Structure 1
Amino acid sequence: MRKISKVGRIVLGDGRVAIQSMFKKPLRAYSEASLKRLYNMGCDIMRFSISDESEDEIRSFVRRCDDLFPLVSDIQGSVSQAVRSLKAGCSAIRLNPANFRISDLESITELAGERNAAIRIGINEGSLDDRSDDAIIRFFDDYVSFFESRRFENLVLSVKSSDYSRTLFINRLIGERFGYPMHVGLTEAGDICVSAVRTTMVLCDLIKTGRIDTIRYSISGSEESEVRCAYEFLRTLGNASGDFQIVSCPMCARAGADVEEFDRMVENFVFDNFDIRGLNLKLAIMGCPVNGIKEAEDADVAVCATKSGYAIYRDGKLECNVCEKTEFESLFVETVSNAIKERAIGRKSI
């Protein structure tokens, strides 16, 4: 029987899959706009690595994120870090059994229970001396038994490896054995291209088991890249909240515009200004009219570069032709904005 856990307002174990990422810089480096942008892109949970931040500093950041996403504090062997994080209002903490003794967990468990916070038992295989199946199972057996004996069951489990086959095998094993919500991903996954391929292969296999509750694309790059990959994975499978997509041609010598540049411009405009949750909208950016017009005719808003400028389409019909790039950008953004607002009625906005 599957169990339910809660990380703040995010329910895990009910069949939905939450998108998670991790802050790559100190908390003070993030502006309100950058936090809102991550939320707008579809991020549900954010994790951060705690070091010497004070309880007040953590509490201040928790408040900044209150209306956006719950925070998970990543603890590495320090009871004081866990206590500071929980007292500051973090919705969950992540403990690695490889560097925590069970005897250290009493005060943490009691405080997490008082604060209705979740605890993620998260093993990175690379941190273990003994990486055998039996050793990993023993870790989880010991920790889960400890928490359950204290009547604490707001748990999330994860075990990550950098190896594709190993990740599949051990996640199936843990998911079937314990029934708690699972956080899934690869560790040391690589840059955006490598991670996107390897992580997607893992998730495609494991999502069939129905035991994926929260995912992360671990990328040697920005948080935004991680969230974007995760959203697109879930959207493609029909598991995302909404169906927002930007499609663009791969470009060739006929291209009358820099499609990649326009793609970035549109992404930046949308994610800076709109929450895509529940939004059903397709945008198309095509470099020439040879195939672009037909390929983009099912898009809500499309642009095709032409020899004389740019053609903007709305619901497959020509809206206008524009010669100047600056005029085009302004009109295209306005058209996209109007389309989003028309579809945003009834959706939550902050």
Structure 2
Amino acid sequence: MTHNPIRPWRNIDRRVSRKIRVGSVEVGGDAPIAVQSMTNTLTHDAGATIAQIRRMEQAGADIVRVSCPDQASTAALREIVQNVDAPIVADIHFHYKRGVEAADAGAACLRINPGNIGSLARVKEVVAAARANGCSMRIGVNGGSLERHLLEKYGEPCPDAMVESALDHALILDDLGFHEYKISVKASDMFMTVAAYQKLAEATDAPLHLGITEAGGLRTGTVKSAIGMGNLLWAGIGDTIRVSLSADPVEEVKVGYEMLKSLGLRTRGVNIIACPSCARQGFDVISTVEILEKRLAHITEPISLSIIGCVVNGPGEAAMTDLGFTGGGGESGMMYAAGKPDHKVGNATMVEEIVAAVEAKAEKLREARETAGIAAE
């Protein structure tokens, strides 16, 4: 993250980790924090899975995970990989053969706990397949499925047990000379999860995949994930994130980006600053913002937009954003550009004019970025 010398309270010093690759996406080191999600289609239905992944890509997913519980799923993986852009992580559960098949089919990463797939010979076979195919791995520890000996040792799932499990699995790969892995230590208990990641961050330089598992539905899961992962991200911990919601996976991607944008860690898309509205509003703020969020969802360039109902806070907020609209006392309000009043706009046409202004700004930013040879967020 670029440090802000004027407003140092906004700075986040990211934990130093080694960098690995998940296909075309770098994870760890100085790479942007990657946003991932997971399909909930039947993987062996390649058509449905591809369609869902494409919707996730449109929302900005950097990486997508698919479950591969059986041979039919890994058989479909090759077609899936060939028809999407995002690198695919294959979640292979406990069967080592699924790992070999997934690596050979083009998976960019395997979600695997090497200590859970049997003998060392089986682990070596999976590692050999990963090496041969340029495939990285994610060690994924879950508080709800810890090893029996750790539960006996600690009495219950706890941060120390989760970290010990993760490091035990990592040691197996390290001993085999395989270091292209990232680690997660997730639990549905937000406190346990945060404590485990804090401890793990001090114990390894491996990239960390953040998540609060089984967080809940769209609203409750978003709140729980934002509190837990937000604390970690603010402390500089985390190299890739997955927001686990009992909702459309596209919503996971959207929430993930909003979380990172709020911390200044990613900048993709329009950031709308809007008031909650009150009796002073000169237009229906809530419905306007709802419409604008949908109409501007296709914008990927970083643009800040303020939508404020009246002149109490409107001019001040507009001064801090690229574009803005502030309601007046009648049937019109003021459009702002680069923080300054630009022209009056009628309430009846403001949505169309705001959308047009944002799209024009996005096009200019895109042209300037491409001229400078800068990659999109």
| TM-score for the superposition, normalised by structure 2 | 0.78
**Corresponding position: 1:314 with 2:342:** no
- The structural deviation recorded for 1:138 is 4.8
- Counterpart amino acid of residue 308 in structure 1: E
Aligned with 1:75 (options 69, 76, 92): 92
Matches of 1:142 and 1:19, distance apart in 2: 27
- The structural deviation recorded for 1:338 is 0.3
Aligned with 1:89 (options 106, 113, 123): 106
Q: Helix, strand or coil: the match of 1:263?
A: helix
Give ranges in structure 2 of 5+ residues lacking alignment: 1-15, 152-156
Q: Helix, strand or coil: the match of 1:346?
A: helix
The number of residue pairs the alignment matches comes to 341
Q: Tell me the equivalent position of 2:191.
A: 165
> Given the superposition, is the C-alpha separation of residues 336 and 114 from structure 1 closer, same or farther in structure 2, using an over 3 Å criterion?
same
Matches of 2:177 and 2:254, distance apart in 1: 37
Q: Which of structures 1 and 2 has the larger relative contact order (alpha carbons within 8 angstroms, sep 6+)?
A: 1
| TM-score for the superposition, normalised by structure 1 | 0.83
Deviation readout 1:237-258 (Å, 9 max, x if unpaired)? 3322468411111122444544
- The structural deviation recorded for 1:76 is 1.7
Give ranges in structure 1 of 5+ residues lacking alignment: none
- The structural deviation recorded for 1:156 is 0.8
Matches of residues 56-135 of structure 1 in structure 2 within 5 Å?
57-66=76-85, 69-96=86-113, 100-103=117-120, 104-128=122-146, 129=148, 130=151, 131=157, 135=161
> Given the superposition, is the C-alpha separation of residues 25 and 287 from structure 1 closer, same or farther in structure 2, using an over 3 Å criterion?
farther
Matches of 1:250 and 1:275, distance apart in 2: 25
Matches of 1:323 and 1:211, distance apart in 2: 44
- The structural deviation recorded for 1:275 is 2.5
Q: Tell me the equivalent position of 2:18.
A: 3
CA RMSD, Structure 1 to Structure 2 (Å)? 3.1
Identity %: 28
Runs of 4 or more, structure 1, over 6 Å off, are none
Matches of 1:310 and 1:36, distance apart in 2: 39
Q: Helix, strand or coil: the match of 1:116?
A: coil
- The structural deviation recorded for 1:37 is 5.8
Matches of residues 1-350 of structure 1 in structure 2 within 5 Å?
2-16=17-31, 17-26=33-42, 28-29=47-48, 35=53, 38-39=56-57, 41-51=59-69, 53-55=72-74, 57-66=76-85, 69-96=86-113, 100-103=117-120, 104-128=122-146, 129=148, 130=151, 131=157, 135-207=161-233, 210-241=236-267, 244-272=270-298, 274-276=299-301, 279=302, 281-289=303-311, 291-305=313-327, 307-309=330-332, 311-315=334-338, 316-322=340-346, 324=348, 327-344=349-366, 345-347=368-370, 348=375
> Given the superposition, is the C-alpha separation of residues 79 and 329 from structure 1 closer, same or farther in structure 2, using an over 3 Å criterion?
same
**Is the CA contact 1:15–1:210 (under 8 Å) kept in the aligned structure 2?**
no
